[in-house]
Every structure is written in C-alpha cells, then in structure tokens.
Structure 1
C-alpha cells in the first residue's frame, strides 16, 4: 500500500512519471493500470483515485509528451523570423521527436486510446485538447504567413505528410524505398520536400 508521503498530488505525479518511463522504454502496450501501480509501489486500485478511467491516465501521460514537444517547438523557432524557415524548423523538431521518443509519439496521436474530447475528470488535470490544439494552431498561423490560401487545410495536409514521413522512416519503409535513389536521402530532405509540396513558392 502507498505511504502517507505518497498521497495526493505527489502520487498522481508519480503515476504519470512511471507511465512516461514505461511508454518510452516499452511502448504503449506496457501501459496497463496494474503495471503502472506496481512500478509506482502502490496498490493496484490507487490510480483509480486520481484517474477514474484508463483513458484519463493515458491522456495525462500523453499530455507530458505534448508539453515536451511544445518546448522543442519554442527552442526551434526562437532564432528564426522567416515563416517558411519556422515551418521547416517545426517540421524537423516534429520528426526528430518522433524518431527519438517513438513510444510517446505513438501514444500522443492514438486518440482511440486517449480522451481528447474533454470528458476527462477535473482531477486528471487540464483537458488533453488544451495541450494539443495550440500546436496545430501555431502551425496553421505560420502556414498562413507563408501565403497559403486555406491555411488550416494546408497545415493539416502538411502535418499528415510530416507524420507519415516520421512513421514510415521509423518503420524502415522509406529508407528501403529510397535506398536505390540517385543520392543519400535523410529525414531533413524529406521535410524540405513536404514543405515544397504544400507551401506556396517564393519568399513571403
């Protein structure tokens, strides 16, 4: 059973910490409530006091990933002022995160497993949407500054392209498909090609 020192907010944070460690080390399949409770050193029923559903705990874990990704976006954009360069920096930060933290990246976009609709209990923290939507809004704003006629649609298509690049590269499909090309291909070149495919030409 958990000690008194591990009650309340500290225990809630510990459960999320353990979940983050698990998903990074072993992937989404390891994120069972019992296993998280066991590794946190508490009874298997303890998580239910802070996360009434499995979805709410997974959402809290995923929120950590979105916070990490948002921090990376801030660092990537800080030295840049041109919108196209900023979109490229976001694309590289996004694909880089996907390849470095594959388990978390997979969880973050599994909304069939998460509660992204606002049904999460107040005790589980802010709604997942409040962590995810600002990142898409940032991309949309930058795409708009690049002169796209339909910024939200263009941003969504670009996001899907970048997500596909990250997944297919991680799975080995793109390196295999491009292995016989005329020259070396890496993720950075593919991000550049995605921007060329979706953003208007010329300086904005």
Structure 2
C-alpha cells in the first residue's frame, strides 16, 4: 500500500470513527483525542489530516449531508411519477425522519461555526439538496409571484423548525400531535397553498 493510500485510508477511518462516535455518544464526545483513541492512533495523528478540530467536524458533517442527499434521492426516485407536491411531502418526511434518526449528526450538520468557516466546502454540500427543493417548489407553485428560491427557503426553515421543536418535544406538547405528519401537511399548505388534488 502506498503512503498516499495509507493517508487516505487513515483520513477516512478518522471520519468513520467520528460518525460512529457521534451516533453512539453524541456531539459532546467528538474530541480529537477520543476519535484518535477509538481509531487506534496517537492523539496527535488526526492533526496530520485535519489541522483544526473544525476541519474534522466538517468532514464528519459532510458525511451527514451526503447521507441525507442519498436518502432524499432514493425517496424521490421511488416516486418519480408523483407530482411535485407529493414529492415535496416525501422530501419533507425524509428530512424529518433523518433529523430524528440521526439527531447528533443533524445538530452537527447545521452548527453555525462549521457552516460559517465553510471548511471542506461544507456549505456547498447542502446546495444540491436545496436545489432539488427549489425545483420542486417551482413546479408546485408556477407563476406564484414569489421567487422559487425564497419560497423553498421558507419551506426549508419551516421543516427545520419542525425538526428542532419535535426533537425537544415542544411540538408534541403544544399541538397534541403524536406524529409530525399533520405538521408537515400544514407546512406544505402554508407554503404551497391547500392541496386540491
């Protein structure tokens, strides 16, 4: 194995260990020292590949964006004959399901300091998924007078708020809902108009 392959392998292993650690122990466990320990390397080894803690966290968060994009892509591929509203409902459900199933990763992906630093192009890794949302909103609201990017951003903010408030159990208490489905439907109605299909 060449030194380049070995470096790439260790770099990928550090990220994979970080993803596993995040899932098992939460965001507070993501220290360079603990990731190195679990990867079986010296505590200084991660700095060779990730000079700052933010860079390692960004690489881990990048894995989350990749997984979310893959999940959404598979969800939409399952129903390409569905109309844009049905696809938006499927995308919204996939986003909310991901936020609950991968709570620590979801929090990491949207940490302000990571997005602000834009290490490893983290901000750009979310843009293709947002582009899918914009395209579907444009199809669902033709000639609405609101730029599709603005309407999609408002819908995304609504979905993200549902994810955050559902995770803290605030929405269940406030709405009495046992599932976020009615909240997703209400968000789509609010941003797309009532479903007339």
1:177 corresponds to 2:174: yes
1:181-196 → structure 2 map (5 Å cutoff): 185-196=178-189
1:64 matched residue in structure 2: 63
Q: Which moved more, 1:63-72 or 1:194-203?
A: 194-203
In structure 1, C-alpha distance between the alignment counterparts of 2:130 and 2:117, rounded to whole Å? 16
The match for 2:51 is 52
Unaligned stretches of 5+ residues in structure 1:
121-125
The CA distance in 2 between the partners of 1:37 and 1:199, in whole Å, is 47
Give yes or no for contact 2:189–2:195 (8 Å, CA) kept in 1.
Answer: no
Number of residues of Structure 1 aligned to a counterpart in Structure 2: 190
Displacement after TM superposition at 1:169 (Å): 1.1
State how far apart, in whole Å, the 2-side matches of 1:38 and 1:117 are: 26
Give the superposition deviation at 1:16.
Answer: 0.2
Number of the residue aligned with 1:101:
102
**Kept in 2: contact 1:116–1:128 (CA 8 A):** no
Alignment equivalent of 2:129, drawn from 117, 123, 135: 135
Q: Is there any run of 5+ residues in structure 2 with no aligned partner, and where? A: none
Question: Deviation of residue 203 (structure 1)?
Answer: 5.9
Q: Structure 1 CA distance, aligned partners of 2:159 and 2:90?
A: 12
Deviation at 1:22, TM superposition (A): 1.1
Matched, 1:18 2:17: yes
Say whether 1:197 aligns with 2:180: no
TM-score normalised by the chain length of structure 1? 0.86
CA distance in 1 between partners of 2:36 and 2:195 (Å)? 54
- CA apart distance, 1:116: 5.3
Alignment match, 1:82:
83
Judge conservation of contact 1:143–1:155 (CA < 8 Å) in 2: yes
Q: Distance in 1 between matches of 2:116 and 2:69?
A: 17
- C-alpha distance in structure 2 between counterparts of 1:130 and 1:160, whole Å: 17
1:123-173 Cα shifts (integer Å, max 9, x gaps): xxx522332111111111111111142211111111111111111111111
More helix by share: 2
Alignment of 1:140-151 (within 5 A): 140-147=134-141, 148=144, 149-151=146-148
TM-score (normalizing by structure 2):
0.89
